Structure 1
Amino acid sequence: MTTPSTIALSELAAKGADADFIKQTLQFALQRLMEMDVEALCKAAYGERNEERVNSRNGYRERALETRAGTVGLKIPKLRTSSYFPDFIEPRRTAEKALTAVIQEAYIQGISTRSVDDLVKAMGMTGVSKSQVSRLCEEIDERVQAFLQRPIEGDWPYLWIDATYVKTRQAGRVVSVAVIIAVAVNTDGVREILGVATGASEAEPFWTEFLRSLTRRGLRGVKLVISDAHEGLKAAISKVLKTTWQRCKVHFLRNALAYANKGQRQAVLAVINTIFVQDSPESASAQWRLVTDQLREKFPKLAAMMDAAEQDVLAFTSFPRAHRLQIHSTNPLERLNAEVKRRTNVVGIFPNERAIIRLVGAMMIEQNDEWSLQRRYMQLEGLQSLCENQSARLSAVIN
């Protein structure tokens, strides 16, 4: 069966050898290859009723593919219960180009490490000129900035923010700077990367400007921000978003175990974890106080820390049960940060902060593309209840 995303082969043949014939033929062939791939994954053709069917289509996602015949517009099929991405499209092409550009820029400016020098020579990039590197950087920067400055539409109940650290040159010195990544889930259950920035992780002015930049682009409807305990970020959340803050449970546990010696940590962890298996906010809070009192005699500093942290660590318990596993920590960002570290470690020392944004931003574009091909990240039922609760509260205030 011919799908809506293709045209008949006979129509192509009738066009003859005009200027677009090669490109249109290529488009037809690639589109048909994708349809055949999806038919095999679904075990059924487009629109076919088949008892052996194991999956179904869920629309298309448009993607431009650069070829020697020109730019070919493709429609990549989406599946309901898994993701599909064709092998003939290189999903990480932009990030690889950005990595090459950053390495070349560092090499030309003479501030790269020995390992990068060796990599440049191994890749045969020693003959590049400053003008070539400049053009490549400008091309990538334009795409990255368009992505990072795009409008943010709709409501985004959950916002995760986390930082990883990379080295760069500033005023002749090598310094460590935080690379901040913000990820959110909207009311359709879809997650996206909303922002990337570099700065001092504890500086309130930096965090305030970062959050304001998101709100200027349209961020709204945030009910919970999940992050580590950055003092500057906590103050900025209260000032700009005026919403609830969730202290990352994983980071909290690491901090808590630092108060116990190596032989005591397993027992301390086990007793603290009894808090997080409670069914309700009330029972979690009661168990928190019970555990804190149990630890107070042997671990007074840990107990004092828990006295101060209860509200922030247990904030997630007031949200829908279906979401709690994802919102109690910044774990949804851990894999993303690991990939950032893997790529940035190749560079070692960045020539400037623009180069950091160039590479990390290019990676985020491609990660966002991959997420868009996957099923929704969160259940809709709980997200809709958050919006309904907000509407009810607003009505109560107005009336």
Structure 2
Amino acid sequence: MAIGASEAEPFWTDFLRDLVRRGLSGVKLVISDAHEGIKAATARVLSTTWQRFRVHFQRNALAHAGKSSRRVVSAFIATAFAQPDHAAAKAQWRQVADQMRPKLPKLATLMDGAEEDVLAYMTIPQQHRTKLHSTNPIERLNGEIKRRTDVVGIFPNEASIRRLVGAILMEQTEEWTVQRGRYMTLETLAPVCDDVLVSLPAAQRD
């Protein structure tokens, strides 16, 4: 965790560089909303694939469709997500965009620009894709942090923020580590890992 005044690119760049200094390596995919700061920092520091939150994209896409067309447009776009692999998804995405182009050119242009970002998760093994096309786990965690910090109101200093938020994050880390069936296991991630890992180090509190 890190405390910053804003989510501008310098904050995210420093945050990711700190993770790299502490040993982070082999990152295959970074998932977030379409925040330019974290997207630019990811490209600069990690040089890895960035995944746009799929639901956010769909909301943006439907804004370019009339009310009577939104259900059909949503169903057409969803056909790309239903494909068995990355290549098939990209082919279907382009086909849908081309079908939309005559009547909904702005939507087609949006799809052209978002193809790589929205379909990045399709390169990961299929059993993990439902957990990777969105930031729902992190958003739930952020909601819990907000709920518990709202009770405090005003923190006297950064140390007090670290104590409370750090404890919440440690609780979540332990849950994701121990309750393996709820998220992803190292064994099922092995096909995309540079180094095959079979265990996690014991969690430690600073």
Q: What TM-score do you get using the length of structure 2 for normalisation? A: 0.82
User: CA RMSD of the aligned region, Å?
Assistant: 2.3
1:308 is aligned, of 109, 113, 116, to 113
- For residue 3 of structure 2, what is the aligned residue in structure 1? 197
1:54-73 → structure 2 map (5 Å cutoff): none
Q: Following TM superposition, by how much is the alpha carbon of 1:284 offset from its aligned partner in structure 2, in angstroms?
A: 0.5
SS of structure 1 residue aligned to 2:103: coil
Identity of aligned residues (%): 61
SS of structure 1 residue aligned to 2:64: coil
Contact 1:237 1:243 in 2 (8 A): yes
2:25 is aligned, of 209, 220, 224, to 220
1:296 is aligned, of 84, 101, 124, to 101
> Take 2:146 and 2:115, find their aligned partners in 1: how far apart are those partners?
32
Q: Following TM superposition, by how much is the alpha carbon of 1:204 offset from its aligned partner in structure 2, in angstroms?
A: 1.4
The CA deviation string for residues 279-307 of structure 1, in whole angstroms up to 9 with x for no partner, is 12121111101111222233222211111
> Take 1:238 and 1:381, find their aligned partners in 2: how far apart are those partners?
27
Q: Which runs of 4+ in 1 moved over 6 A?
A: none
Contact 1:198 1:353 in 2 (8 A): no
Q: 1:363 and 2:153 equivalent?
A: no
> Take 2:149 and 2:49, find their aligned partners in 1: how far apart are those partners?
32
1:97-176 → structure 2 map (5 Å cutoff): none
The CA deviation string for residues 258-293 of structure 1, in whole angstroms up to 9 with x for no partner, is 223444322221111111000121211111011112
1:319-338 → structure 2 map (5 Å cutoff): 319-338=124-143
Which one has a larger percent strand, Structure 1 or Structure 2?
Answer: 1
Q: Aligned pair in 2 of structure 1 residues 294, 312: CA closer, same or farther (>3 Å)?
A: same
AA matched with 1:198: G
Q: Following TM superposition, by how much is the alpha carbon of 1:206 offset from its aligned partner in structure 2, in angstroms?
A: 1.0
SS of structure 1 residue aligned to 2:3: strand
The CA deviation string for residues 132-151 of structure 1, in whole angstroms up to 9 with x for no partner, is xxxxxxxxxxxxxxxxxxxx
1:271 is aligned, of 58, 61, 76, to 76
Q: Following TM superposition, by how much is the alpha carbon of 1:355 offset from its aligned partner in structure 2, in angstroms?
A: 4.8
Q: Aligned pair in 2 of structure 1 residues 274, 336: CA closer, same or farther (>3 Å)?
A: same
SS of structure 2 residue aligned to 1:245: strand
- For residue 254 of structure 1, what is the aligned residue in structure 2? 59
Contact 1:246 1:315 in 2 (8 A): yes
The CA deviation string for residues 138-184 of structure 1, in whole angstroms up to 9 with x for no partner, is xxxxxxxxxxxxxxxxxxxxxxxxxxxxxxxxxxxxxxxxxxxxxxx
The CA deviation string for residues 7-44 of structure 1, in whole angstroms up to 9 with x for no partner, is xxxxxxxxxxxxxxxxxxxxxxxxxxxxxxxxxxxxxx
Q: Aligned pair in 2 of structure 1 residues 211, 261: CA closer, same or farther (>3 Å)?
A: same
Which one has a larger percent helix, Structure 1 or Structure 2?
Answer: 2
Task: Specify the structure having the higher radius of gyration (Cα).
Answer: 1
Aligned length: 194
> Take 1:364 and 1:355, find their aligned partners in 2: how far apart are those partners?
14
The CA deviation string for residues 81-140 of structure 1, in whole angstroms up to 9 with x for no partner, is xxxxxxxxxxxxxxxxxxxxxxxxxxxxxxxxxxxxxxxxxxxxxxxxxxxxxxxxxxxx
> Take 2:154 and 2:65, find their aligned partners in 1: how far apart are those partners?
36
Unaligned regions of 5+ residues in structure 2, if any?
A: 196-206
> Take 2:106 and 2:156, find their aligned partners in 1: how far apart are those partners?
43
Q: What TM-score do you get using the length of structure 1 for normalisation? A: 0.45
The CA deviation string for residues 228-282 of structure 1, in whole angstroms up to 9 with x for no partner, is 1111212211111111111121221122222234443222211111110001212
